[in-house]
Structures are given as C-alpha cells and as structure tokens.
Amino acid sequence: MSIETETNRIHQERMQELDLTAFKLLPSAKPPLFHGHTVRKTVSSYFWRKKLRPFILEQQGNKCTVCGWRPAEEADIKHLHLHEVERYDFDHKVCHLLSIQLICRKCHAFHHIIRTEMVSTEEQWADLMAHFIHVNGCSPHIIKKFDWITAKALQLEAHALKEKEKEIARLAKQPVRYTVHPAIPFSGEMENQIRRKGLLYQTE
C-alpha cells in the first residue's frame, strides 16, 4: 500500500469518526451546476425585497433561526438574510426551493463555505470560527478539525456529484428550472413569475 493510499484511508476513517448530528451550524456549499441560479434571482427584485422579505422577517420574529441573533438597531436588520433551502435534481437540472430561512450573515457565510473561505480575511475567518464554536457549544479545539468537518458535511453531496457526472455533462448547457414548495409564503406568485420566464419545472 502506497503512502498516499494509507494517508487517504486514515483520513476517511477519521472523518467517519466525526459525529456531526449535534451541530446546529455546519458548512455547506451549492453544487457548481447550480451556481448563480436561485429563485431569488429569477423573481423580481421588488417582490423579493418589498413583499417577501418583510413578511419573512415578521413571520420568523426578526431573529436568526440558527443562532438566535436579533438586531439591536433598526439599521442592523440588513444583516438578517433570507436563506433559500434547496434540494437539487441532477437528472433534470431542477432546483427545488423547499423553504426560506431567516439567518444572520455569519450563519449564512457557512452555507457558502468555499466562497467564504476564499474571500475572508484572517480576522474575518477567526470571527467566523468563534461564531461556529459559540453556536455549536463546542470546544475551541474543534477548529483544528474544521477541514475534516467541512469534508464530511460535503461528503454526501460530493458522492452525488460523482454518481451524476454523465448527467451533469449532458445538462450543462440547459437552463436551470425551479419548483417552489407550496408552504412558502407567496409561493403562487413566485411560480407565476418563474412560469413567465419559462423556467418552472412541472412533472408530466
């Protein structure tokens, strides 16, 4: 067995030993096939900012649903973001919008961990790691394993991508289509806007 193979085996074993079930906040990343494609960018900016956002803010209590942070000043409400919880259909290149979660900018940064790590300064990254420790109530030593945590959190997604390599290549030039869960506020209005652009996915 080569050194590289043995190293990979040990790495996989250590990742399997990590139990992430108790973590409230975990890193995630949107699959490359769907980068830049969201319902938010498909519906009108006016609808998202002036109708949906105020409704979600009130509905979810003007606080982060992950860490509980609540803006102390009116001006800080901008640091609460609408996070689109999505499921991806690689067979048909469909982004299913399952729900919309109100989260703070720090928690949101972990949902785009690859980009976050690329653009964060050393100080910003340290601040995010402190937030990760606080939200999950874990030891500061966990940060030494953050790369493993990220790898394990993204492991299932990476496996799905590998399984769908041929489909992804075939669908690369096709537009992303969308569905909106009926429990989401104003789902009908969102669907109408998406339909007018010819991007609403409907099963036959």
pTM of the model: 0.84
pLDDT at residue number 19: 76
How far is CA 165 from its chain centroid? 21
Tokens 């299932």 locate to 156
Average pLDDT (173-200) is 96
pLDDT in tens, 17-59: 667 888 999 999 898 889 899 999 999 999 999 999 999 999 9
- pLDDT computed for residue 158 by the predictor: 57
Q: What is the pLDDT of residues 72-126, one digit of tens each?
A: 999 999 999 999 999 999 888 999 999 999 999 999 999 999 999 999 999 999 9
Residue 105 carries which side chain, given as an amino acid letter? R
The 3-state DSSP composition of the chain as helix, strand, coil percent (nearest 5) reads: 55, 15, 35
pLDDT recorded at residue 202: 87
With a cut of 50, say whether residue 6 has pLDDT above it.
Answer: no
| Out of 67-71, 73-77, 199-203, least confident range | 199-203
How high is the pLDDT of residue 151?
84
Question: Which of residues 157 and 179 earns the better pLDDT score?
Answer: 179
Closest CA to 81 of 29, 47, 40, 118: 40
Question: CA 190, 194, 195: angle at the middle one, nearest 5?
Answer: 115
